[in-house]
Amino acid sequence: MCLAQIAGLNARVAELDQKMRSAAKKADVARLFLAMPGVGPITALAIKTFAADLATFRRGRDFAAWLLGLVPKQLSTDGKARLGKTSKMGQHDIHTLLVSGAMAVLQAVERFDTPNNGWLTRLRARQPRMVVAISLADKMARGL
């Protein structure tokens, strides 16, 4: 009985996975994200769904700062812009997915020594693995 339920759930997961992949390929914005190493259909659809419109950001650095939450808290009233302390209230879900993808890229670089990864290899020689992954995730966010 339990094996039949597991088989049914596996079939349902495979069906939902296929729907998600086809939805990511159909969406123009998500298709651009899929071309980036470390970004899969889940991350592409999450960025398309949860992120603000990319046209609102002047450059990739602004999007990365918004994503990581490194923007000043706004305490503005009556047309006066007052900026407070730097908050760390970014989009946690997308950030987690980008870091996970960056860890996968880092693992592939370490295992297979792929070309065109000079800065990543040099950074890995100096910094801990998680710091390198966060740096790569930030670079991935800036590239969006």
CA-CA distance, 82 to 57, in Å (whole number)?
20
CA-CA distance, 56 to 127, in Å (whole number)?
33
**11-19 mean pLDDT:** 92
Asked if 124 and 108 count as a contact pair (C-beta separation under 8 A), the reply is no
CA distance between the termini of the chain: 47
Q: Is the pLDDT of residue 22 over 80?
A: yes
pTM of the model: 0.73
**35-56 mean pLDDT:** 83
CA-CA distance, 111 to 87, in Å (whole number)?
36
Asked if 124 and 106 count as a contact pair (C-beta separation under 8 A), the reply is yes
Q: Is the pLDDT of residue 111 over 90?
A: no
Taking only the tens place, the pLDDT of each residue in 68-110 is 766 666 677 777 766 666 566 677 888 888 889 999 999 988 8
Which uninterrupted H or E stretch holds 117? none
